[in-house]
Amino acid sequence: MGFFADVTERKFLEDGIERINLCLLGLGNDFKDNIGKITELCGELLGGTCALYNRLNEGMLCAIGQWQTPPDFNPRTNPEGHICYDLIKGAGTDGLLFIPDLSATRYAETDVNVRLYGLKSYLGHVVYCNRENVGSLCVVFQRPFQPTENDKRLL
């Protein structure tokens, strides 16, 4: 007689925590390098197509942190109609915005990246500084995606 337990999810979470700790311990004084590392980590751990850290700068939406963005991706664009801009401006619950089917939203028409890159799902979180929304960190998917509670906490 034997007893078997599937520890796959637990092992996955433990590996994720280890990677988060290593990333945080590896942060230095270079703001853009730190943002790049964190953006990459979130994209990889969530299994996204790409990941972005966006800030508003001089009226433009600027992707400061990028992971796996296409070569023709425009990192500086007019913010109107973009998902990340709406998130920075207060969309979402508790700073989190999950959109399981982008094609069923207005973003299929207003956010050029949704059509251009065939994006299906979006998970983003507001970035705060001194209790003000200053940016957004998001992971996007070219496939349907349903985040777990751990995925949401990670972001």
Q: Minimal CA–CA distance to 64: which of 94, 40, 29, 28?
A: 40
**Domain layout of the chain by residue ranges:** 8-154
What would the two tokens of residue 10 be? Answer: 């637990």
Residue-level pLDDT, tens digit, the chain, 155 residues? 666 666 566 666 678 788 888 888 888 999 899 999 999 999 999 999 999 999 999 999 999 999 999 999 999 999 999 999 999 998 766 889 999 999 999 999 999 999 999 999 999 999 988 888 899 999 999 999 999 988 898 88
pTM of the model: 0.86
CATH 3.30.450.40 fits 8-154, yes or no: yes
